[in-house]
């Protein structure tokens, strides 16, 4: 009998022992298929031995080759309320990407935590948003600025406390009518002509 040794591609001995002269060399473990221990990020698939297993005529060493297979991990995307937007598997080493989510009245500002390449575990990313703010102007009918304020999306602006005045006229309303802000807006004062009451005898 002769010593037959089997190693992996890194030189680690997988098995070594005596096998009878005249027999065909055989790897006696795991149904003849060598295995290489997985790492945190990769698994390994046996490809072949460096030379075909031959008839035993003396001591011999065979070295296995393996394909490296990146492990896959789940990446989950959530909105700022914790609701899942999407999920997808990525192989270790890949950097996940996702289109910017949309939220009415808000601007997307990024993901928490900062996106990095997938390594050795599942990952969850949460969207961050900043509420939109708008500039609201109140002007007299000649364009004179009466009040400027900044309001958040969905907030109804407040008109000037003192209504504008115009000789011979009474303030009527703001045009257009004041509504909750969804964009920058300008409101213009409108007037009604005063009509004098005349009494005849």
Strand order of the β-sheet with 169-175 is: 145-152, 133-139, 185-193, 169-175
- List pLDDT tens digits, range 44-81: 999 999 999 999 999 999 999 999 999 999 999 999 99
In a 3-state reduction of DSSP, which class is residue 146? strand
* Per-residue confidence (pLDDT) for residue 196, from 0 to 100: 73
pTM above 0.85, yes or no: no
The percent of residues in the chain predicted with pLDDT above 70, rounded, is: 98
- List pLDDT tens digits, range 19-48: 999 999 999 999 999 999 999 999 999 999
**Cα-atom radius of gyration of the chain, to the nearest Å?**
39
Residue 199 has pLDDT above 70, yes or no: no
CA distances, 188 to each of 111, 136, 160 (Å): 41, 11, 12
- List pLDDT tens digits, range 145-170: 999 999 999 999 999 999 999 999 99
**Beta strand residue intervals within 119-158, DSSP E:** 123-131, 133-139, 145-152
């Amino acid at each position: 009998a002769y010593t037959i040794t089997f190693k992996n591609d890194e030189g680690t001995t997988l098995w070594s022992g005596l096998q009878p002269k005249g027999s065909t060399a055989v790897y006696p473990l795991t149904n003849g298929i060598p295995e290489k221990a997985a790492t945190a990020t990769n698994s390994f698939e046996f490809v072949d031995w460096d030379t075909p297993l031959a008839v035993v005529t003396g001591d011999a060493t065979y070295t296995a080759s393996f394909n490296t297979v990146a492990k896959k991990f789940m990446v989950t995307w959530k909105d700022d309320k914790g609701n899942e937007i999407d999920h997808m598997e990525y192989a270790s080493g890949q950097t996940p990407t996702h289109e910017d989510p949309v939220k009415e009245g808000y601007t997307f500002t990024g993901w928490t935590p900062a996106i990095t390449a997938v390594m050795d575990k599942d990952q969850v990313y949460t969207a961050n948003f900043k509420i939109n703010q708008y500039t609201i102007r109140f002007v007299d009918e000649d364009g004179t600025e009466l009040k400027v304020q900044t309001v958040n999306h969905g907030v109804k602006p407040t008109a000037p406390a003192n209504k504008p005045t115009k000789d011979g006229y009474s303030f009527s309303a703001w045009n257009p009518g004041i509504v909750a802000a969804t964009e920058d807006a300008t409101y213009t004062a409108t007037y009604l002509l005063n009509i004098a009451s005349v009494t005849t005898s």
